[in-house]
Structure 1
Amino acid sequence: MAVEMSRERFEELVGDALDEVPEELLALMNNVVILVEDDPPANDPDLLGLYEGHALTDRGWDYSLVLPDRIFLYRRPILRICDSEEDVVDEVAVTVVHEIAHHFGIDDERLHELGWD
């Protein structure tokens, strides 16, 4: 059964998840913003999060004057797969870590190997 939660509360949980990321790691993030959207792109309605941009490992000497990379967390799909607020807390934390990992150039296969499904 899907969890009902206001956008404000969901955004608060995203902030809490970011607070759990080690400060040293956050300090290494560069030119990236984290956004909450209600719904993912229509062609992937079950998507929980998305990293859009140039991973740090792909940036070269010519990386300059570009818009920030974007990490999206999609509220409705996350709420749809959760049964309780505790589940939402856990899923938001996993999704935040997953998308930050993409910013650092870690792909889905490696995340799976590390247990971050």
Structure 2
Amino acid sequence: MPVTWCYDVEDEQKFCNPGFPIGCYVTEAGRPKDACIVNPNFNEKDAFYIFNHVDITIHYHIVEHEQLGARLVAAKIEPKSFQSPDCSGGPKFLKNKQTGVFDIKYTYSVKFVVSTMKSPWSV
């Protein structure tokens, strides 16, 4: 099942995309491109922000009559950017003209949520 990335857009609505970005860019003029629009802290000019942490929420439906007992209903992702592997500090970014070796730690968290929505594959 593909994962879904949802984010807020205008008028308090959400927009959902299959998959998720691994980073984004803020132009030399300070204009956020692509996924950088979702975080006002992405404001370093001419910089690439790295999404090095992912919060994963697994939604599942309990199936009483089956041996396995549960079915995956949805997997939602929230990519984030942190300076530190303990998920602290401001967002992790690299200046566009930066050179050298970069050490980027990637982390994730997983949360399981029982859903009332039945599995799309159940009959």
What TM-score bracket applies, with the shorter chain setting the length?
A: under 0.3
Q: Which structure features the higher share of helix residues? A: 1
| Greater RCO, 1 or 2 (C-alpha within 8 Å, sep 6+) | 1
How high is the TM-score relative to the length of structure 1? 0.26
The structure with the largest alpha-carbon Rg is 2
How high is the TM-score relative to the length of structure 2? 0.25
